[in-house]
Chains A and B, each alone.
Chain A
Amino acid sequence: MRLLFLIPLLLLAGCGSDEQSSDRVRLLRAALGAVTDRDQNRPLRPEEMGLTRAALAGITTPLALATVEATGASALLAPFGSNGGVTTWSSADHKALALHDGVLLATRGLGPDLMSSEAPTAAQIARGSGQHDRVHYQLDGLDRTVRLPYRCALATRGERMIEVIGRTYRTTLVEERCEGPGGRFTNEFWLENGGTIRQSRQIFDQKLGRILLQRIVD
């Protein structure tokens, strides 16, 4: 099927100075990448980025590492803006996550983005028990907002020692199990003593699954 799409695409090949021409080149490259699965701009895996504590030593801006579990693609994120307690973390390749004290509220630049959501607060998660509603808002193929409601329960899974880029943290693992008409998923939060979310796995899209988020520089 993918090859079928190539036929109209070849007609798009071309060059020029207008936006449509640069679009054409961009789209053709993307399409060829999709067909051959060889994308030059593939985001790097963390080990390929050469991320070590030594390399991070001089860095003073907060940094987080995000990995989309389904694709293994990683990006380093830094805070770019903040509004009402929600921080927008951005990568150099223009992907962004909106986090409220480490809890994912929205994504941008990832394709089937989580446009907005109703999610528990970090404090609620830190309590490690109880039930709550969660709602995700995404766009369908007609750009209509789709409301995906979930009913969720929190449970504490006990202490976990985790390693984040060569540093070990003592954390408590809290699971958030959610179920709704759109499917089910489990988010995981590794919380430090003070309630800081050091590491988490949070879903943003039913198909692409969860994002592994690690705070690597505070």
Chain B
Amino acid sequence: MTNPHSPWPGLLAGVALLAAVPGAAQTRPTLNFYGASGLIDMPSAEAQRDGVLTASTSFFGGIGRTTLGFQITPRLSASFRYAGIRDWNATLPEAERTGVNAFDTYYDRSFDLRYQILSEGRYRPALAVGLQDFIGTGVLSGEYIVATKHLTRELALTAGLGWGRLGSEGDIGRFGDRPAFIPDSTGGEINADQWFRGRYAPFAGIEWQPSQRWALKAEYSSDAYEVESGARRVFEHRSPFNFGVEYRPNPGVQLGVYSLHGSEFGLAVHFLIDPRDRASVGLVDDAPVPIRPRPPRAANPGAWSPDWVGQPDANRLLRGNMQKVLTDSGIHIEALALTSEAAELRIRNTRHDAEAQAIGRTARAMAWALPASVERFEIVPVVNGVPTARVVLRRADLERLEFAPDAATALRPQVAITEVGPPLAPLQPDPALYPGFSWSLSPYLRTSLFDPEEPLRADLGLRLRGQYRVAPGLLLSGSVTQKLAGNIDEAQSSSNSVLPHVRSDTGRYSAEGETALERLTATWYARPADALYSRVTLGYLERMYGGASAELLWRPVNSRLALGAEVNYARKRGFDQRFGFLRGDAAYDVVTGHVSAYYDFGDEFTAQLDVGRYLAGDVGATLSLSRQFANGWKIGAFATKTDVSAEDFGEGSFDKGIRLEIPLTVILGQPTRQTSAYTLRPLTRDGGARLAVEGRLYEMLQDHQGRGLDRQWGRFWK
């Protein structure tokens, strides 16, 4: 080798060439005051990286906005926003301070959707269309078409046309009429009748990113802030020109300082999270045991003898040896079945977020401990006593592929994942597992959001949980909570709902249930047939209801489609959340039920449709769409429309919200099955409300079946 220092100049040149391809967007897409891809107050045609979640908060001139954003697909993004306008009624005479003008700060929730029609090309600008505040009372409503083009690697120009509030400054024409904004309306309806109607006005701006960290922006805004700077005099709008400087200390944070409307200073902070990244470097856990290869049969025929199977103790001894290996990995053996050529091991995985990793470690333990004549390994994951799938491997493949290049991909075609079917041989359970008791004591946080009086309320307390596993599938569990501090009890002291108060009494439950029996249930899980799962739950099902719940789910191991049905009888519990139920006029009971269809589109998207009867006796359907990343992040939205009229439902018109589930393993870089789940509703009302039973079947089986296993198959050998 003559020049070992640069052996591959050709390859380097290729990389340099790739980096210099013109037309590709060179600057990073930044966020605006609405938490959307854009300039300062105006949008741009850029999109964030696919899948990126953003949390933004911005403030200027008494106007604050907090926005959660999600780049749903490479072109489609959505935002949910909570905005507050201070000094809302300051200029109004006392007599007019009623209804929506009763509040000195006006709070409003809004949803946006944006779609990038064209991505940027060599000569072609990126083009996007957006709907801002398209459901709801519409104080922020505006629509736009916008184009963005990079002139150099660092410099991008944006120009667009806005309607609604984005067409209020320097309008150049109009398309028909646009209904005026009425703050007192109920909101919640999709305001399609006003999209791209009324006056329209141009806006434009420029963004320069001299370095990876800094950005300078200037824009001409087409928003005159007519409501805020008009009679209400929240701030003074002197000029349509805005200027800003932004700094990005790391790729996950954007900070900005701005001069706005010729009269105000503004601040904005954005957090960007890519669910695909692990917060720490990789997943740190203990090394698994290596595969112990069997001696060659010719050299050691004695080791291959199948005679061991006649030993009366064989099952117990082998189970014990494997459990020793698996305990460190948080895997418990539920039962073992043996023949001289095959073994079926039923396992409960309590630690690994990737079931494939638990399967891999179980296979290693089997190769470690089982006699040489056992060639076929059948591993059956068990959740709450219910077997979920059968994973069949050949021991010779494990021995052959342990150190093979890309061993996980090489092994997968040799593995069969099928329905559980009948056991291989009589199963011998581990007698130590049942009955079993476990408990935990931990803090809890309960929030009540978006009350116009006080947008963020919370209770903090302690929760004591206990679980008694009577037999496989039969579970007694409960939790008791003790509130330590909080202010949720100040909320909604009297609900104004015209429907039965099935959810709107939260404040009373919080006020009177300082020490509460949160749940106390007996649950029986079973698998009546292949691909069929059932659940029956009795007792105090949740904070507000007790009763009975029964569910049946059809979910074949490798199917995209699953179907379910659930029927519940629910009785409203006493506000003190002890053992009693409400009596007299307040007494309430109802039979609810749903049929559900679940579909996995692949590519991370799933949908769920529930049709049935809800807690207030209303009949309707819920559609949920979510994107689930292989590492467990789940981001979704749901909407429920029932036969309750928008008027009876009250503010918000129908039930809707977003759901976010964060697997703690990606944050901490250690394996755990724990996740943090949040459901965010703009409003919690009584229409379209469902019973919150724990342990619904679809979620329970999610990770333990064909598609869930395959998504993280790379972890098999980890």
The answer to whether the Cβ of A17 comes within 8 Å of any Cβ in the partner chain is yes
Cα–Cα, bound, A158→B438 (Å):
63
The answer to whether the Cβ of A194 comes within 8 Å of any Cβ in the partner chain is no
The answer to whether the Cβ of B181 comes within 8 Å of any Cβ in the partner chain is no
Sorted nearest first, the 9 A-B pairs with minimum C-beta distance are A16-B440, A14-B442, A112-B282, A108-B287, A96-B287, A94-B286, A18-B438, A111-B282, A19-B350
Contact in complex: A151, B8 (CB < 8 Å) = yes
Cα–Cα, bound, A90→B287 (Å):
8
B424 CB to closest chain A CB, in angstroms? 26
A182 CB to closest chain B CB, in angstroms? 11
Closest residue of B by beta carbon distance from A111: B282
Cα–Cα, bound, A108→B297 (Å):
30
Contacts of B405 in A (CB 8 A): 116-118, 135, 137
Contact in complex: B354, A5 (CB < 8 Å) = no
Q: Which segment, of A24-32, A51-59, A195-203, faces chain B?
A: A24-32
Closest residue of A by beta carbon distance from B667: A5
B475 CB to closest chain A CB, in angstroms? 13
Cα–Cα, bound, A12→B463 (Å):
11
Contacts of A115 in B (CB 8 A): 406-408, 714, 717-718
Tell me the B246-301 residues at the A interface (CB within 8 Å): 250, 252-253, 274-293
Contacts of A179 in B (CB 8 A): 7-8, 11-12
The answer to whether the Cβ of B669 comes within 8 Å of any Cβ in the partner chain is yes
Instruction: State which of B288, B292, B404, B631 has its C-beta within 8 Å of the C-beta of A141.
Output: B631
A141 CB to closest chain B CB, in angstroms? 5
Contact in complex: B290, A96 (CB < 8 Å) = yes
Contacts of B275 in A (CB 8 A): 141
Instruction: State which of B12, B276, B288, B662 has its C-beta within 8 Å of the C-beta of A108.
Output: B288
The answer to whether the Cβ of B459 comes within 8 Å of any Cβ in the partner chain is no
User: How many of chain A's residues have a CB under 8 angstroms from any CB in B?
Assistant: 73
Closest residue of A by beta carbon distance from B405: A118
The answer to whether the Cβ of A50 comes within 8 Å of any Cβ in the partner chain is no
Contacts of B672 in A (CB 8 A): 20, 23, 27
Kindly supply a per-residue 1/0 record for chain A positions 74-87, scoring 1 wherever the CB is within 8 Å of any chain B CB and 0 otherwise: 00000011111010
A-B contact count (CB 8 A): 204
Query: Given A1-B253, A116-B403, are A111 and B281 also a contact pair (CB < 8 Å)?
Result: yes
Closest residue of A by beta carbon distance from B348: A19
Instruction: State which of A16, A34, A140 has its C-beta within 8 Å of the C-beta of B438.
Output: A16
Contacts of A135 in B (CB 8 A): 405-406
Instruction: State which of A19, A30, A113, A141 has its C-beta within 8 Å of the C-beta of B278.
Output: A141
A187 CB to closest chain B CB, in angstroms? 12
Contact in complex: A17, B668 (CB < 8 Å) = no
Cα–Cα, bound, A135→B283 (Å):
21
Contact in complex: A27, B281 (CB < 8 Å) = no
Kindly supply a per-residue 1/0 record for chain B positions 613-635, scoring 1 wherever the CB is within 8 Å of any chain A CB and 0 otherwise: 00000000000000001110000
The answer to whether the Cβ of B484 comes within 8 Å of any Cβ in the partner chain is no
Contact in complex: A14, B440 (CB < 8 Å) = yes
Contact in complex: A11, B444 (CB < 8 Å) = yes
Contacts of B290 in A (CB 8 A): 80-81, 83, 88, 96, 98
Cα–Cα, bound, A180→B250 (Å):
26
Contact in complex: B292, A142 (CB < 8 Å) = no
Cα–Cα, bound, A14→B441 (Å):
5
The answer to whether the Cβ of A139 comes within 8 Å of any Cβ in the partner chain is yes
Contact in complex: A16, B465 (CB < 8 Å) = yes
Cα–Cα, bound, A151→B253 (Å):
37
Contact in complex: B715, A143 (CB < 8 Å) = yes
Highest count of chain A CB atoms <10 Å: which of B287, B441, B630: B287
The answer to whether the Cβ of A129 comes within 8 Å of any Cβ in the partner chain is yes
Contacts of B714 in A (CB 8 A): 115, 139, 143-145
The answer to whether the Cβ of A13 comes within 8 Å of any Cβ in the partner chain is yes
Contact in complex: B441, A16 (CB < 8 Å) = yes
A117 CB to closest chain B CB, in angstroms? 6
Q: A147-B406, A205-B281, A207-B281 are in contact. List 9 more A-B contacts (CB 8 A).
A: A8-B664, A14-B442, A23-B351, A27-B672, A86-B403, A94-B328, A137-B406, A143-B354, A144-B630
Cα–Cα, bound, A12→B675 (Å):
10
Kindly supply a per-residue 1/0 record for chain B positions 400-418, scoring 1 wherever the CB is within 8 Å of any chain A CB and 0 otherwise: 1011111111000000000
Tell me the A64-116 residues at the B interface (CB within 8 Å): 80-84, 86, 88, 90, 94-96, 98, 100, 105-106, 108-113, 115-116
- 15 residue pairs A–B, Cβ–Cβ below 8 Å: A10-B443, A16-B442, A19-B330, A20-B350, A96-B290, A111-B281, A115-B408, A130-B1, A139-B715, A141-B274, A142-B276, A143-B354, A147-B406, A151-B8, A151-B11
The answer to whether the Cβ of B467 comes within 8 Å of any Cβ in the partner chain is yes
Query: Given A88-B290, A109-B284, A113-B718, are A18 and B666 also a contact pair (CB < 8 Å)?
Result: no
Contact in complex: A17, B439 (CB < 8 Å) = yes
The answer to whether the Cβ of B696 comes within 8 Å of any Cβ in the partner chain is no
B213 CB to closest chain A CB, in angstroms? 15
Cα–Cα, bound, A185→B440 (Å):
48
The answer to whether the Cβ of A155 comes within 8 Å of any Cβ in the partner chain is yes
Contacts of B15 in A (CB 8 A): 181
Contacts of A86 in B (CB 8 A): 402-403
B459 CB to closest chain A CB, in angstroms? 13
Contact in complex: A106, B4 (CB < 8 Å) = no
Contact in complex: B280, A81 (CB < 8 Å) = no
Contact in complex: B403, A84 (CB < 8 Å) = yes
Contact in complex: A141, B277 (CB < 8 Å) = yes
